Amino acid sequence: MKKFSTLLVTCFCTSVSFGQNQLDNYFNGSSTFTEIAGPSHGLTAPHDLDYVPNRPNEWWVLNKEATGGSIVIFWNPGKTNQSHQFRRDSHNDHFMARAVAIAMGENNEFVSAQEIKNTASASSTFMGPALWSNDTSIFARKHQNNWVTGQLLGSHIDMLHQSPFGMGVAYDNARIYWYFDGHNSNICKYDFATPHGIGEDDHSDGKIHRYTDVIVTRKPNVPSHMALDKANNWLYYIDGGTNRVMRMKTNTGTIGANLTVPSTGSEPLAEYKAVTGATVEVVVSTGITSPCGIDYRNGRIIVSDNTTGNIHVYNVTGTMPAVSVGTLITGGPGVMGVRIDLNNKIWYVNNTTKKMMRVDNPNVLSIPEVSKSINYTIYPNPTSGTLNIDLDEIKNNGPIRIVIIDITGKQVHSSVASGIHNSISTSSWSKGIYMVNLVSNVNVVTEKIVVQ
């Protein structure tokens, strides 16, 4: 790993304590920029990155390719036991066609955004977000074939097709994702409901809400990444064509009339509706050349500038526009996706240098271990009727969501823990192995169970 340091601009912080926002501490002294990976690791055109929520030492980096897309998976990046693996699904030229963004969900799944109008014909608009499993035994492993007639379509587990030129995506909950539709120039909310299965093609339970008066503009070849502040119901997104950072209040707006699926993108849907009147605010409109990547953490957003390579930090707790906290000078253009990990470290990819980087600063503290732990008991295991989940310290972790998925990645249960003792009926579930995910504000723990 290579490291270099740089000076920082706009320093507002004077001391290090956990009472203040840890992202502000990047402007105490200097930061070190650590090279985690580069072209020799399979990074050919990195556009985005994310870590797996219940496996925070596993990072996925997305390459945009000439006709498709690929993933490089890193285990323990930046550590002495770092390893990686290059993956390209056999059907990536449709389901990950010229992909520019990914967002990990809480169900061992993720969505990719495809910057392309269509892969079939010039007139077709049959394109949109694709849902994948991040189970490494499934992704780019199941049903790999060269579009052989009668065989399943690779390892994707769902896809909906009403948003060509996807430029950004953000996870909300369950199988709901926010999406930047660069063709129709709207923000959309996609609900995949129940995945159609690995390599299959039934989209009939999909639901789409199109925010018809929330207008966005695509900047070709520069992603417009997105990030969700779930606690305050703000969706932050880059409006690439206007070089602005915007936000939309996700619990506002009125669901209106049914929309017609165009003949150029025909597919059966359970719901396709217009939403109007959502609250939209300008977050940043000056002081940045070409915003691209974005992430949110505890009243702050970080935004990458693709032209300068700088990473800006803004305070978004007050009235908009946001207040600049400071700027990290990375040393060159090409920065795209950015991500804050559970320990407040900033990670990013640079498409020009083809590198994955991490920003380190000794003044930035990790989340205290006491806040990261979830004390729990799951019993009986194996179970044949009722599964009990006891949470010893629920008050110290905030709300805890219980998400259970089967071995195929299908979600069979999702709820917010009602208290210390929680009982879940498994009587209608098929026999087999399931993964119980306990999701708090700061951590995810996973436990394997067997249903007999």
List phi, psi (to 5°) of 105: -105, -175
Residue 58's contacts (CB-CB under 8 Å, 6 or more residues apart) are 51, 52, 73, 74, 75
- pLDDT at residue 314, as a whole number: 98
In this structure, CATH architecture of domain 2-360:
6 Propeller (2.120)
The position carrying tokens 């799944």 is 109
Question: What pLDDT does residue 253 have?
Answer: 99
Say what the pTM is: 0.81
Ranges under pLDDT 50 in the chain: 6-19, 368-372
Range(s) within the chain of domains with CATH label 2.60.40.3080: 369-451
* pLDDT for position 413: 93
Q: Where does CATH 2.120.10.30 sit in the chain?
A: 2-360
**C-beta of residue 192 within 8 angstroms of C-beta of residue 200:** no
* Neighbour-count burial of 368, counting CB atoms closer than 10 A to its CB (0-12 exposed, 13-18 middle, 19+ buried): exposed
- Identify any residues that bridge with 227 across adjacent strands, giving them in sequence order: 236
> Is residue 236 within 8 Å of 229, Cβ to Cβ?
yes
CATH of 369-451, one of 2.60.40.3080, 3.40.50.720, 1.20.200.10, 3.40.250.10: 2.60.40.3080
User: What would the DSSP string read from start to end of 213-274?
Assistant: EEE----TTS---EEEEGGGTEEEEEEGGGTEEEEEETT-SEEEEEPPPPGGG----SEEEE
pLDDT of residue 2: 60
**177 vs 192: CA distance, rounded Å:** 8
> What is the spatial distance between Cα 245 and Cα 249, in angstroms, rounded to a whole number?
14
Give pLDDT, residue 14. Answer: 35
Please choose, from the candidates 75, 154, 137, the residue with its C-alpha nearest in 3D space to the C-alpha of residue 407: 137
Please tell me the distance from the alpha carbon of residue 406 to that of residue 197, in angstroms, as a whole number: 12
**91, 153 Cβ separation under 8 angstroms:** yes
For 123-161, the pLDDT digits (tens) are 999 999 999 999 999 999 999 999 999 999 999 999 999
Terminal-residue alpha carbon distance, the chain: 47
